[in-house]
Amino acid sequence: MPRRASSTTLRKDRLDLEGRLRNTRVSAIVRQPNATGAWPRLQLVPAFRRFVVYPLALAMPLRRMHRIRRRMPTPTQGTSTMKTIRSVTTALLLALSLAGGARAQAAPEASAATTAGLAASAPVSKFHIRPVDDAWRASLPRNADAATQAYLDRLPADTVARSNAYFEGGYWLQLWNFVLGLAISWLLLRRQISARVRDICLRVGRFGVVRDALYGVFFSLASWVLSLPLTIYQGFFREHQYGMATQTFVPWFVDQLVMLGAQTAAFALALAVLYAVIRRTGERWWIWGTVATMAMLVFAVMIGPVWIDPLTNTYKPVSDPVVKAAVLQMAHADDVPVDNVYEFDASRQTTRVSANVSGILGTASVRLNDNLLRTSLPEIRAVMGHELGHYVMNHIYKGLCEMALLILVGFTFAKWALDAMLRRYGGAWGLQGAGDVASFPLFIAVFSVYMFVTTPIGNTLVRTQEIEADRFGLNLAREPHGEAEVDLKLTEYRKPDPGPIEEFVFFDHPSTRHRIHDAMQWREAMGTP
Ligand SMILES: [Zn+2]
């Protein structure tokens, strides 16, 4: 990941399944001035939040649910519910078209941010690393433990405290999101809201597949609206609070609407496919449900970089010939079939640094974000060596296989739990079995319990690949100091020095100490400066 200056965070890569399954791409994020940065955002945000957004965000979903519930009971009211659905859909399409226009206008300013420019914007960023020069690095002790500690000592105490607070707050957010998901399912199931929506969808759609797709649209919109207050808090206010967000509220919200559109299309497609499969396979639906889910996951990985990512960011070939040559040199050294490197304007959303390389079914691309491009060449080389490692070691395919196993066990559990719940509550909730799309909130609730409980397993599977990629990257790029510098920057949003159990449970990437130690261990063994 190329990152130009020292201040911001590098988000090396988020190689979760979603990111991993994209066409090979390496993206690096560089902090860049936001096009909307001229707005007096920071002063206005607290007041806006307190007096406008919070009350509205809290009031709107409650009122809407109240209205929907009132309209559901009688058949004649079904038409007014459809009007509501239709007007919501219309508003969504309108918002999407407006979003297109807004994005066209919000072309990022030329990223003329030099190191000086970044320093000038430093008051916004609360993240600092004590700067050093090459002489400092060369004079580091050979011993990996001591060198690692010297690197970590460059993080000021308040920076570490802020990073810890941000990351540990994320533990609680995982819990709140989980609880909220369960509450939404319960809300939709009780009083048979879900069953009634299914009946309305059938009246409109006439065929099972169309009904299930329409239900998917409903579920996507309903869960989005009901979780909006938490989404706004964790996605907008919290990111501003910690100085990582670069967007004002309106462009941020437009991005959310765009992603809601994509999510809704995905839900419609996924439910139509999944429930068609479940109904046709009887008692063995958990096996074929796994197969269908994996097929859709592969599809998502394939189209993600081509159709989804460009919805919120602009991708273009890297303009810096030095960076391009450096990345291609490493790619060709390991026979990665790419002839170009792409950058994207992640800085319009965040200060985090990131990059990714992915390739599936013959496609491959390397993408860095513009925040990464503002770092030094050794850092960019270290990050891209890591990303190429994911590609060369076939981490996408291995990740999919691991995921298939995890999902199969999940479906097994879901079948058992769903059958038990349906026996007990199916009648009261108006559900007609596992093949009834109205039972989807119950399925999601059960599956989310499983995913929540297995969080440490999922994290460890991903983290293991990240450690492998780090070591591959060191061997390829031969930049232990570039690696260590980037790792320090990642502290902006990831706790740098957790305990071993904490890292096992909560970390989907190794911690800063872990990664720097790997780099310093390589340096010690190889005897490089
Ligand atoms: Zn990675």
Cα of 503 vs centre of ligand 1, distance in Å, is 16
Measured distance CA(463)–CA(470) in Å, rounded: 10
Cα of 470 vs centre of ligand 1, distance in Å, is 7
Cα of 369 vs centre of ligand 1, distance in Å, is 14
Cα of 435 vs centre of ligand 1, distance in Å, is 38
Cα of 466 vs centre of ligand 1, distance in Å, is 5
Cα of 507 vs centre of ligand 1, distance in Å, is 13
Cα of 465 vs centre of ligand 1, distance in Å, is 7
Cα of 313 vs centre of ligand 1, distance in Å, is 21
Cα of 386 vs centre of ligand 1, distance in Å, is 6
State both tokens at 160: 């570490």
Cα of 379 vs centre of ligand 1, distance in Å, is 14
Cα of 394 vs centre of ligand 1, distance in Å, is 12
Cα of 487 vs centre of ligand 1, distance in Å, is 12
Cα of 240 vs centre of ligand 1, distance in Å, is 25
Between β-strands 355-358 and 315-317, what pairing exists: parallel, antiparallel or unpaired?
unpaired
From the CB of residue 525, how many other CB atoms can be counted at a distance below 10 Å? Answer: 10
Cα of 390 vs centre of ligand 1, distance in Å, is 7
Measured distance CA(449)–CA(101) in Å, rounded: 40
Higher pLDDT, 297 or 125: 297
Give CB contacts under 8 A, 24+ apart, made by 201-207. 201/437, 203/78, 204/82
Cα of 328 vs centre of ligand 1, distance in Å, is 18
> Over 70: is that where the pLDDT of 37 sits?
no
Q: Number of helices and strands (H, E) in the chain? A: 22, 4
Mean pLDDT, the chain, as a whole number? Answer: 80
Cα of 529 vs centre of ligand 1, distance in Å, is 25
Cα of 516 vs centre of ligand 1, distance in Å, is 14
DSSP 8-state class, residue 437: G
Phi first, then psi, for residue 287 (nearest 5°) are -70, -50
Percent of the chain with pLDDT over 90: 63
Residue range 503-519: mean pLDDT, rounded = 95
Cα of 366 vs centre of ligand 1, distance in Å, is 13
**Residue 319 buriedness (CB in 10 A; 0-12 / 13-18 / 19+):** exposed
Cα of 468 vs centre of ligand 1, distance in Å, is 9
* Model confidence pLDDT, tens digit, residues 231-256: 999 999 999 988 888 899 999 999 99
Cα of 247 vs centre of ligand 1, distance in Å, is 26
Contact 504, 456 (CB under 8 A): yes
| Band (496; pLDDT cuts 50, 70, 90) | very high
Specify the pLDDT at position 124.
Answer: 52
Phi first, then psi, for residue 342 (nearest 5°) are -115, 150
Specify the pLDDT at position 244.
Answer: 87
* Model confidence pLDDT, tens digit, residues 298-308: 988 888 888 88
